[in-house]
Structure 1
Amino acid sequence: MTAARRILIYGVYGAGKSTLAARLAQRLGLPWYPVDDLLWLPGWVEVPVAEQRRRIEEICRRDTWIIDGAYHGWRDVPLARADLVVALDYPRWRSFWRLLRRTLRRLGTGEMICNGNRESLGSVLSGDSILLWHVAAFGRARRRMRAWQADPAGPPVLLFANPAALDDWLAGLPTR
């Protein structure tokens, strides 16, 4: 792990990718590039996929980085350069509960998420709700993480099935 300088954190919505990225960045002294900041413009306007890919390619050419997600239009880019993938393969109930709790907190506080965007009751109740995205994406994300871990040609994948195992791993990491 001490040699890992390019880290991809992967998991379903609500698993804790951004929280982990912030912790790792502080602990290891690596730069963290929050994916939401790269993918969303103000007003929840999605950055075109070609531009997302260009942005991710630019980051992944660097010697050090932490990225907290990987999406369909450019998932191959960080995978090709990562020294390590940290995969949060928590049970559906745990990640959904975390997502629901976070969403309700953000609705109540008006917390800014990225580029001035905030969650709203309308967005949570819409057909594009992050809660619905979680339900739809959970199985695919889980299969993807497990396939990556089984692929000897890819980067090493640490697959965590629960937060306690992740915390134990984090406790053993060096600090900068």
Structure 2
Amino acid sequence: MNAPSRILVYGVYGAGKSTLAARLAERLGLPWYPVDDLLWQPGWVEVPVAVQRSRIEEICRRDRWIIDGAYHGWRDVPLTRADLVVGLDYPRWRSFWRLLRRTAGRLVSGEVICNGNRESLRSVLSRDSILVWHVTAFGRARRRMRAWRSDPSGPPVLLFRSPAALDRWLVDLPTGSDS
């Protein structure tokens, strides 16, 4: 198996998409484009969807990339160019627990995330909280990944139900120098 050169990492909020994308980028020597950096301006101002789409199209025209998400308004773009979709199809409890732990850690540390933004108690307790997003998006994300896997016209889709299964796959994945 040759190592893929255009990878979409997909899953619900908190599943570990960015962590996996970073691991894949290091192992395969591919450039990783964190989606949150493309979607959010300082002050948690969302980039207009048309601009998001343009940014994603520019990245996906390249021969080598990893992106860690696919959202409304441009989800079709990486799907038409990806060599591989890696879906983190973990149980709800696992991804929610990871998200809760990460969010709490960021609240305590004040960690700067995309474009200088920070999570705040106010944002976590709001209607637009990432925790609420997880709850409302979980089923849709899971159905979407499974539909992609069943679609013979799309890229190959690997779904991982546990971090252990993902780790076993990563061990056998050729490195960028093996292809």
Same fold flag (TM > 0.5): yes
Equivalent residue of 1:112, what SS? coil
**2:124 corresponds to 1:124:** yes
Q: Do residues 148 (structure 1) and 153 (structure 2) align?
A: no
Question: In structure 2, the residue corresponding to 1:53 is in which secondary structure?
Answer: helix
The SS at the match of 1:107 is helix
Secondary structure class of the residue paired with 1:152: coil
The answer for unaligned runs of 5 or more in structure 1 is none
User: Percent of aligned pairs with the same residue?
Assistant: 84
Counting only pairs closer than 5 Å after superposition, residues 1-176 of structure 1 correspond to structure 2 as: 1-176=1-176
Contact kept, 8 Å, 2:7 with 2:83, in 1: the verdict is: yes
Letter in 2 for 1:22: A
Unpaired runs of 5+ in structure 2? none
Q: CA RMSD in A?
A: 0.7
CA drift of 1:69 comes to 0.1
CA deviation map 1:55-93 (0-9, x unaligned): 000000000000000001100000000000000000000
Give TM-score scaled by structure 1 length: 0.99
Displaced runs of 4 or more, over 2 A: none
Tell me, what secondary structure is at the counterpart of 1:159?
A: strand
TM-score (norm 2): 0.97
- Asked whether the equivalents of residues 21 and 66 of structure 2 are also in contact (C-alpha less than 8 Å), the reply is yes
* 3-state secondary structure, aligned to 1:115: helix
The separation in 1 between residues aligned to 2:104 and 2:175, in whole angstroms, is 34
- Please report how far the alpha carbon of residue 4 of structure 1 lies from its aligned counterpart in structure 2 after TM superposition: 1.1
Report the Cα distance in structure 1 between the residues aligned to 2:2 and 2:47, rounded to whole angstroms. Answer: 34
- Cα deviation digits, residues 108-139 of structure 1 (max 9, x gap): 00001110000000000000000000000000
8 Å Cα contact 2:3/2:174 also seen in 1: no
Count residues with an aligned counterpart: 176
The separation in 2 between residues aligned to 1:3 and 1:164, in whole angstroms, is 20
For residue 159 of structure 2, give the secondary structure of its aligned residue in structure 1. strand
